[in-house]
Structure 1
Amino acid sequence: MLCEECGKNQATVHMKKIINNHVNESHLCEECAKKSNSFNFDTSFSIQNFLAGLLDSSYDGPVKIEQVKALTCDKCGLAYGKFRQTGKFGCSNCYDSFRDKLVPLFRKIHGHDIHVGKVPKKAGILVGTKRTIEKLKKELDSAVSKEEFEKAAQLRDEIKNLQLNLERGSEEND
């Protein structure tokens, strides 16, 4: 479909206005849409602005300006307020300095604050064992609540063996 305005370019902007049950459709190319006063284009997408917006909306209660201004990174001196504006850290220590403010953001974005995704192959055995232990602990709790004590004892022993293997593995790597 060609642009209704210039008739030359492909129409990439399609707008439908409904005013008093009257439908008015416009099909314009990007250039003509920018020239038109009907559209307000802000084509500059910034990940920093996106993250700053998430930071502002991630708080449960009101934020005291004094607290935000007083919070700074111990290593690079970046103020938390500056981080909120730019969405950029000054150094790797900023993660630790701003941890209390970041954890709610991570929970909001990812649904949790621990990594549960793919794991590098080298670390896979360690992480896989930890996940297995967590799964077995949940099964153990369930078995105890159902009063299946023999099964619970087996699960307990399996958890202990896995934890011993983890400890041995970490001692060998040290």
Structure 2
Amino acid sequence: VCTACSKKRAVYHLVSLHKNELVETHLCEECYKSSGLSLAKSGSVNNSNSILDALLGKDIEKEIQEKYCQRCGTSLVEFRHSGVVGCSNCYNVFKDEIRKKYPFRENYKDSGLKTIDDLQYIKMLNDELKKALKDEQYERAAEIRDKLRKYTEQRE
């Protein structure tokens, strides 16, 4: 949900660094356009009079636009934290991150990540589930378990 209007779904996710503290702001298309924000090639917002300044009442030192999946809403930050994607479209959205985290065999074809088969995905989820349980992150483990269960049920 958009931080500015609290009505529409956020499509821009901005992470701000202010006094060594990360601040997340989520904006819908309209609020993003009306804010006057523009992204420089470096990925930082180059307008100091941004809507974020008004919303937070602070000077924003650094902002980056966050990548996310349009289909399920999983963000790059969420993927980096959990290592688990939300849907099949996430494989295309986060393919560079996935390649870094899970190196593929030589027979991988560079036509998107559709070559990840069911067994590899299930193994990845199981590995994440074991890690979450080992780290005593039971809520995260339950979410992964549910994703695993839903995925296997869809394949039967």
Higher relative contact order (CA 8 A, sep 6+): 2
TM-score range, shorter chain: under 0.3
Q: Give the structure-2-normalised TM-score.
A: 0.26
Q: Give the structure-1-normalised TM-score.
A: 0.24
- Structure showing the higher strand proportion among its residues: 2
